[in-house]
Every structure is written in structure tokens, then in C-alpha cells.
Structure 1
Amino acid sequence: MKDLLFAVCLLAGLALTNSVQASDWRAVCLKLCKCEIRPWFSPSSMYNAAPTVDCNDLGLLSLPERLPSDTQVLLSQANSIAKIESPLDYLVNLTEVDLSRNNISSLSDVYLGHLPQLLSLHLEENWLSSLHDNCLENFPNLQELYVNHNLLSLISAEAFRGLNKLLRLHLNSNQLRAIRTEWFQDLFQLEILMIGENPITRIQDMNFKPLINLRSLVLTRMNLTEIPDSALFGLDKLESVSFYDNMFPKVPQAALRQVRNLKFLDLNKNPIERIQRGDFVDMIHLKELGINSMPELVSIDSFAVHNLPELTKIEATNNPRLSFIHPNAFSKLPKLESLMLNSNALRALHHVMVESLPNLQEVSMHSNPIYCDCVIRWINMNKTKVRFMDPDALLCAGPSEFEGRLVRHVHFREMADICLPLISPESLPDQVNLGAGNSVSLHCRAFGDPEPEIYWVTPSGEKILPQMFTKKYHLHPEGTFDINGITENEAGQYTCVAHNLIGADMRSVSVVVNGYYPLPVNESLQIQVKGIEPHLVRISWVQPKGSLVSNIKWSTTSQQPSLQFTAHVLSDVKTFNLTHLQPLMQYEVCVEIKDLQSRYLKNCINVSTTEVSIGKTDDGIRDGLIIGIIALLLIVSAVFCSFICMLWRSDHLYRKLRNQQSALLPSHIKPI
């Protein structure tokens, strides 16, 4: 009987509890929020079907007074909540609270009670300006904290004290001006830190040293221009780093080499001008490299990406000035499969580079101004198994006879075996404005076959060769020209000349210093005749300073149709021999010079070759006659000697035969 009475009381109690709980659900879920079972993933990516209360975007000024007791996830985004005064510690299963996009300005106004089971707290897009010491002490097991897109300018040294289980911390898009190592003293389990989009002036040495388990570091949009060599030291588990949209002028290679297990590197949208030799070397675990959307990137130099045994993908796309990739830029990359180079300013892709990548499977080269000449003829020679992505967007931009045609439709036999150098117009600006005392690097790159050599000509006409180093100028082997400590005396037009055995290409840059640029000087071109012979005329000229000889032309004026000839010479040639001319013929000889102000100077002279000298003709005839007589005497002597020799041999043979006959006859018979 007692057992029956106990059972009845138990059932009545459960019914009453269910009735109260149902009442709670009706009060909250039917009138205000949505209550349902939804998929939920924990910070460690464990799946669960979680009772969820969704109060998003209802214009609430406060949370509902009473929530279902089994609530695990509470969503209250996009409301107008500024304070929370009623604790939630009665929700013993509560693991996630989302209060993003509200009007919270201080964590002291948010009293959620002691929630040891809370794993995720979202406070992004509020009005928080500071985090004070121990402000999160009621959430000792917190694994995810989102306070991004607030107004945080102050974080106390012990704001995150006790959060030794935190895995993910988002501090990005705030007003922080410095990173303090003290913040991270208790965060030794942290795996992901996002702190980009803050006006932090610089990263300090060992800033992240306590984060020994950090796997991903995001430092985007911080206007960083450099990072100390030891800034990432000790982060042995770090696998992913993003420096997206900063102001790095060059690759922070020394700092990156401290990250031993780096797998993914994002340097996209930085004003890096060159990927230089040694920038990405010996990163033995790197798998993917992103160097996209760099507005100033001109070239990837030789051995810039070297000895990366695990690298599978390189993305270098949407770089409007990237016009040159050295044939040896990518070396010892045995696992590279994908090479993304579309939407750049590339004129060509050298076959040596592709052949050096044994596992390469696909290349994206579309939306580049491909110049269909000897350098890229290998693409259509069926010598590679590499697949070119989107081939219908891979078009020839030149020469004019191929312009607009699909690269794959131009037969390799239509392209020359060797070709002139070609300097990409995107590699050099038309004009550079500098202040006195500043320095500048001008990057000139050229494709051609044979591979071209590069030198520069200064406004004064000085020729700067590779590896030359002066107080003002230095020319690197790749073609980068450094001007140091510039003054108004160095203002003017600088010209890059790329040349090989076939010819030359050139491009000029106007350098303005403190608004000063030298006015062009009206100088004339003087031609002098140094010698005239029947078949040769030797000319010389004095050219204005800072000029480049374009070509020399000569043609007959006393013969119809006129015979015309052209020779291309470089700036250091000031004397030229016109050969294979005809005697007693008048020629017009013109020298055309392109100066550094892009003007053409031209001067022409008329000159007549001399006749062949009669004296020299008689001497020639006499010499020929003497030689003929001597030859005739030698022939006669040879014939005479041969005749004497034949006579002697005949007599000798006759005597021998007579002796033999005498020996054969009987003794009583004597020869007649």
C-alpha cells in the first residue's frame, strides 16, 4: 500500500513538474522566442543536438525572465540589450550564449551568474571599450570568446585570468594600439588568436611567447610595416599565419623562419615590390602560399621559393604589375601541384620553370597579356602534361599578327625560335615623385631568347652595368636599380635597356625631386666622316648626354631602285663602318637617336664612295701576271721532269729485258 502511495505521489510530482516546464516553454517560446532542438557543434567540433532558445532580432531590452531549464544554447543577437541583471546560473546545461549586436558597453553591466559549464560567449558588435581584471572569472571553462568589432582600447593585464581552457579568442576590429604579453599568461591552451584590424603600431619581440599551443594567428589590416625577427619565436605548433592587407614592403622572412611547423601563409594584399631570392626557403612543412592582390609586386626573382618539400599550391593572382617570374624562381618543390598565376601582367611563362616542377598538374595563366613569341612556344609543342586552366581565356596580346587569338590556336612553328627582349610596361611607372634625400628602387624586367641582359642609363648619360655600386647608384643582377639619397642633381629621365644578340628594348622613368625636373636641352646631332674607301665609309657622331642610339640607316641616292640598309646599335657605340658598298656610288647616311626625354634626334649626310684606284689595278695585273708566269714555269718544269723520268725508266726496263733474253738462249746462239 505504501509503495502504491509512493508511486502515485511520484507521478503527481512529475506531472506537476512537466506542467510547470510546459508553462515556462509556453511563456517564453510561444510569445517571444523560438525553442527547438538544433544541431550544435562544440568548440572542439563535437556534434550535439542541443535545446536552443532563439530570441534573435526581437528588439528586446532584456532577456526573458525565465528560460526553459534544459536550455543549452541561448541566442539573443541584434537586440537592444544594455544590461543583464538576472543571472542564468539556474540553466545548468547552458554551454553557449550569443549576445552579439546589442548595446552592451561594459561587462560589469552583464551579470550572467556563475556558469562553469559555459563554453562559448559571443559579445561581438557591441560597445565595449575595456576589459578589466578578472572580468570573465565566472566562466572558468570558457573555450571560445568573441569580443571582436567593439571599441576596445584597454585590456587589463589580467583580464583573461583563469581562462586556462580557452581555445579561440577573437579581438579583431577594435581600437587596440598595443599587444601585451601579460594578456596571454593563462592562455597556454589557446589555439586560435584573431587580433587583426586594430591600429597596433608594431609587434614586439616575444609578444606571443606564452601561447605555446597556438595553431592559427591572424594579424590582418593592422598597417604593419615590419615584424621583429623573434616575434613568433617559440610558437612551435603554429601552422597558419595571416598578414593579409598590411603594409609590408618586403617579405618578413627572418620572422617566418622561426615558425618551424608553418603550413599555411597568407601575405595577400601587401605592397611588396619583389619576392626576392631566399624569401621562402627551407620551410619544410609549408603547404600553401598566398601572394595575391599585391598592387606593387613586379617580379618573383630567382630562387625566391626554394626547397619547400611539402608545398602543394602557390597562389599569385590579381597582381596588376607582376610582369616577370624568373625561370629559376621556383626550385626544389617536388610536391607542387597547382600554380595559380592568372590576372597578372605576365607576358610569358618560361618552360624551364615548368620543367623544374616534377609534380605540377595545373597552371592558371588566363587574363594575362601573353606575348606569343619564342618564350612561350613550348606551350603548343606537346612537351608537357600540365593542364592549363580556362584555356579559352588565354589570349595573345601581341605581336600584332597574333593579337586576340587563343594561345592554343597559334602553332609553335608560327613563332620564332629566338626573339627580341621585351620590357613589360607595367613593370616601371612613367613618373616617380621624390623628396630630396629619399631613395627609390626601379624594377626593370624583360623576357627574351637569348635571355637579355639589363643596364640603366642615367640622365647624365652614365651607363650603369649590373653589380656596379656607387654612392648614388646600384644595379642588381635582376635589373632592379637603386638610387640612394637623391638630390635635384639626379632628377631627370632614367632609362632601362634590355638587350640580347637579336636587339634591344628600352623603357624610361621620369624622376622628379622636390617638384624639380630638368628642362630638355635643344642639342644637335653632329655626324663626321672619318674615312671613305671604294667599298667602305667610316662615320662617327657626338651625341647629346643622356641619349640612346636607335638606328643607323643608309641608302643609295644615285641608283634606282634605291637600296636601303638599317643597323641597330646601343648607346656606347659612337663609330660605325658601312661596308659592302659599291664604288663611285652616292649614299645618304642617317643617324637617329632617341634621347631620354623620348625625343628623336636625326641628322643625315650625303657621302660618295671612291673609285677603285688605277695604280692599284695595274699593280694587281702585274702581280697576277708574275704569279701566272711562275705557275707556268712550275708546270713546264714538272712536265719536263716527268718526261726525263719516263725516259730513264724505259731505258732501264729495256736493259733488264735484254739481260733476261741472253740468259734464256743456248750458249751456241748469240744475240743479234
Structure 2
Amino acid sequence: MSAARSVGQIARLSGELRRLPSQTELDLSQNRLPACPPPAWPHLSPAGLPRLPPAGLASLAPAGLPRLLTLYLEENRPEELPAGCLRGLAALEELYLNHNRLVSIASSAFTGLARLLRLHLNANRLRAVDPGWFPPLPLPRLEILMLGENPIARLEAGGFRPLGWLQSLGLAGLGLRDLPAEAFQGLAELESLSLFRNRLARVPAPALRRLPQLRFRDLNENPIGELREGLQGSGSRGCPPAFPPRGWPERLEVAPGGSVTLSCPASAEPPPEISWLGPAGERLAGSGQAGGAVELVGVGPAHAGQYTCVARNEAGSA
């Protein structure tokens, strides 16, 4: 057997998963697990049986799952990852813990996951990134870490330092207002960084300059007024276009026979090429220029409809 899925009816776990030594994928998402089980994963019990004490993830005792590569524990009820709770899942490469209630992670919670490549912790209740989560060499191969939609208002210096092989980091929707210069210290291999939908009022250039391999960064939906100055010398090949949250009105009223200029306030580095598409999807004359604006003259009923601005540069499009 290579995969198993169970949704909606499990309130606790106990032993017979140990009878599945060839299991490579296990999906326990959308259940009612308040904790993950005491040692040995006894059998899967239906909802209604007594629950485990809500002390967190007690142990995923992997003795019977030596080949497990992917584990989904999304949309359950655990509030913490205690020390050693994943110990022995030595083959695990992907761990999905999105949409739980995690508020704390013990310093040795990830001990034993030497092959883990992808860790998703989106949409929990974590309030800080603790360097203690990643003591030296617990996750030596981790390439992707997703922490979006947690109530983390500030990153401390050096929080990611032990993750020297990390290539992609997702920090969308955290509410970050600023980043310390040392926020990404140690991430010498990072290629992709998402800061989508935070509260950054300016480009965190000092922090970005410490990412020599950065190729893609997403700063969309931040209240950033100007990107170009902050991006100079930041160590990447450019920033894809981004629109300010309130770049233009949703509706324009123009008197019959009048004129109107459509401008597209996209910021990027290098400056984007701007194109306008008319209500029928046609490309408007005057499109395709950096900082381009389009003027409509002799406006009449035929001009009514939705106009779309498309901004492109070598780093991406919006």
C-alpha cells in the first residue's frame, strides 16, 4: 500500500498503522484530532471515543511507517508540536500542518526529519518564528518553508539561520510592517520569497541584500509607495510588477464626447511595460510602453465596459 486517506471521522489515533510498513503517503486531514497520538499509532478510532488529552502532538511513533514520505495533518485541532513528536519518521520528505491551531513548537519537535524537503505551517496561530524550532542540523535538507497567514507581526534577527539550504520561503499575510536587516541571515541559497499581503510601507532592502541567490520576490498588496529606490543593490534580478492597493477608481464617469486618460500605477524593477486591453479584449493603441497611459477621446456608449491594465517586465507580470 502506498497511500491512505481518512477525512472527517477520526477523533484519536492508536496502533494499527504499524501494520502498514510499505505506506508512503498518509492523509489525515479534516478530522477532529486534538492531538496526535501516544506512542505507537494504535488503531484509528471513530469519532465519539474518548479523546486524548489536549497536550499537543504526543508522538507520531513511526516504528510501523519506515517508508512514509508524505504526511498530511491539515485542518485538525493540535495546539502544539512537543519535543520528539515526529521522531523516527526518517524517510519523511513532505509534512503539511496547515490550518490547525498550533500556538507553540518545541525546540526538538522536528528532530529525526533529516530528509524533510517541504514543511507547511500556514494558517495556524503562531506568533513568532523561534530559532529554537530549528536547532543545528535538525532539517539539513529543507528546501521549502511556508508560514503564511499566522499572526506573526515581526521577524526577529536570525530566526531562519539554521536553514542554510532553504530555497523558498512563504511569509504571506503575516501583518509584517518592517523587517530587520538580519531577518534572513543564513539563507544564502534562498531563491524565492513571498511577502504578499503584509503591511510593508517600504521595500525591506537591507534584509533583501543579504539574499545573494534571490530570483523571485512577491511584494504585491503591500502599501509600498515606490519600489525602485529600495530595490537598488538588493541582490536579485528584479521585482515583478505590483499595483498599490488603491491604484485607480473602480468606476469612471465621462461626459459624452469628452476624453479620459487611463494610467496604470504599477511599480517594478526594471520598470514594466504597460498594456491596456479594452472591453472586448482588444489591445488599445498607445499600449506597450514603460509607464504608458492611454487616452480615450470622443467618449461614447461604445467605450463603456471594463478596461484591464497588464504590467510586465523580465521578472514577471501583473
State the shift of 1:252 in Å. 0.9
Whether 1:291 aligns to 2:268 is no
Whether 1:137 aligns to 2:87 is yes
The AA in structure 1 aligned to 2:181 is D
Alignment of 1:563-602 (within 5 A): none
State the shift of 1:214 in Å. 0.5
Relative to 1, partners in 2 of residues 1:287 and 1:120: Cα closer, same or farther, differing over 3 Å? farther
CA deviation map 1:168-211 (0-9, x unaligned): 00111011111111112211211000011111121000110111
On the 8 A contact 1:84/1:111 being kept in 2, the answer is: no
In structure 1, the gaps of 5 or more residues are 1-70, 297-318, 322-343, 350-355, 369-375, 381-385, 389-393, 407-672
Relative to 1, partners in 2 of residues 1:346 and 1:285: Cα closer, same or farther, differing over 3 Å? same
CA deviation map 1:51-109 (0-9, x unaligned): xxxxxxxxxxxxxxxxxxxx111122x22101121232232211110000000111135
State the match for 1:628 in structure 2: none
State the match for 1:102 in structure 2: 31
State the match for 2:176 in structure 1: 224
State the match for 1:396 in structure 2: 295
CA deviation map 1:421-467 (0-9, x unaligned): xxxxxxxxxxxxxxxxxxxxxxxxxxxxxxxxxxxxxxxxxxxxxxx
Relative to 1, partners in 2 of residues 1:405 and 1:123: Cα closer, same or farther, differing over 3 Å? same
Relative to 1, partners in 2 of residues 1:347 and 1:248: Cα closer, same or farther, differing over 3 Å? closer
Alignment of 1:76-95 (within 5 A): 76=6, 78-95=7-24
Q: Secondary structure at the match of 1:274?
A: coil
Q: Secondary structure at the match of 1:107?
A: coil
On the 8 A contact 1:83/1:110 being kept in 2, the answer is: no
On the 8 A contact 1:204/1:228 being kept in 2, the answer is: yes
Alignment of 1:241-260 (within 5 A): 241-260=193-212
CA deviation map 1:6-37 (0-9, x unaligned): xxxxxxxxxxxxxxxxxxxxxxxxxxxxxxxx
The AA in structure 2 aligned to 1:164 is A
User: Structure 2-normalised TM-score?
Assistant: 0.73
Whether 1:163 aligns to 2:163 is no
| Count of residue correspondences | 260
Whole-Å separation in 1 of the counterparts to 2:264 and 2:26: 54
On the 8 A contact 2:103/2:125 being kept in 1, the answer is: yes
Relative to 1, partners in 2 of residues 1:240 and 1:367: Cα closer, same or farther, differing over 3 Å? farther
Q: Secondary structure at the match of 2:207?
A: helix
Whole-Å separation in 1 of the counterparts to 2:171 and 2:39: 29
CA deviation map 1:111-133 (0-9, x unaligned): 43412211111000011111100
Whole-Å separation in 2 of the counterparts to 1:195 and 1:128: 16
In structure 2, the gaps of 5 or more residues are 42-61, 250-260, 304-318
Whole-Å separation in 2 of the counterparts to 1:239 and 1:193: 12
Whether 1:73 aligns to 2:3 is yes
On the 8 A contact 2:69/2:92 being kept in 1, the answer is: yes
State the match for 2:233 in structure 1: 282
Alignment of 1:256-405 (within 5 A): 256-275=208-227, 277-283=228-234, 285-286=236-237, 289-292=240-243, 294-296=244-246, 319-320=247-248, 346=263, 363-366=274-277, 379=286, 396-397=295-296, 401=298
Relative to 1, partners in 2 of residues 1:203 and 1:345: Cα closer, same or farther, differing over 3 Å? farther
On the 8 A contact 1:193/1:217 being kept in 2, the answer is: yes
Whole-Å separation in 2 of the counterparts to 1:74 and 1:240: 32
Aligned-residue identity in percent: 37
Whole-Å separation in 2 of the counterparts to 1:190 and 1:348: 38
Whole-Å separation in 2 of the counterparts to 1:397 and 1:154: 56
Relative to 1, partners in 2 of residues 1:395 and 1:286: Cα closer, same or farther, differing over 3 Å? closer
State the shift of 1:141 in Å. 1.9
CA deviation map 1:263-311 (0-9, x unaligned): 1111111112333x4222235543652424x325xxxxxxxxxxxxxxx
The AA in structure 2 aligned to 1:320 is W
Relative to 1, partners in 2 of residues 1:363 and 1:405: Cα closer, same or farther, differing over 3 Å? farther
Whole-Å separation in 2 of the counterparts to 1:269 and 1:288: 14
Relative to 1, partners in 2 of residues 1:84 and 1:235: Cα closer, same or farther, differing over 3 Å? same
Larger Rg: 1
On the 8 A contact 2:30/2:76 being kept in 1, the answer is: yes
State the match for 2:145 in structure 1: 193
Whether 1:214 aligns to 2:125 is no
State the shift of 1:403 in Å. 6.9
CA deviation map 1:595-628 (0-9, x unaligned): xxxxxxxxxxxxxxxxxxxxxxxxxxxxxxxxxx
Whole-Å separation in 1 of the counterparts to 2:25 and 2:187: 29
State the match for 1:638 in structure 2: none
Whether 1:203 aligns to 2:132 is no
Q: Secondary structure at the match of 2:157?
A: coil
State the shift of 1:145 in Å. 0.7
On the 8 A contact 1:395/1:404 being kept in 2, the answer is: no
Whole-Å separation in 1 of the counterparts to 2:34 and 2:96: 15
Specify which structure has the higher proportion of helix.
1
The AA in structure 2 aligned to 1:229 is A
Relative to 1, partners in 2 of residues 1:367 and 1:155: Cα closer, same or farther, differing over 3 Å? farther
CA RMSD in angstroms, aligned pairs only:
3.2
Q: Secondary structure at the match of 1:265?
A: strand
CA deviation map 1:489-538 (0-9, x unaligned): xxxxxxxxxxxxxxxxxxxxxxxxxxxxxxxxxxxxxxxxxxxxxxxxxx
Relative to 1, partners in 2 of residues 1:279 and 1:255: Cα closer, same or farther, differing over 3 Å? same
Q: Secondary structure at the match of 1:289?
A: strand
Q: Secondary structure at the match of 1:364?
A: strand
Alignment of 1:1-80 (within 5 A): 71-76=1-6, 78-80=7-9
Relative to 1, partners in 2 of residues 1:346 and 1:75: Cα closer, same or farther, differing over 3 Å? same
Q: Secondary structure at the match of 1:175?
A: coil
Whole-Å separation in 2 of the counterparts to 1:226 and 1:95: 41
Alignment of 1:552-567 (within 5 A): none
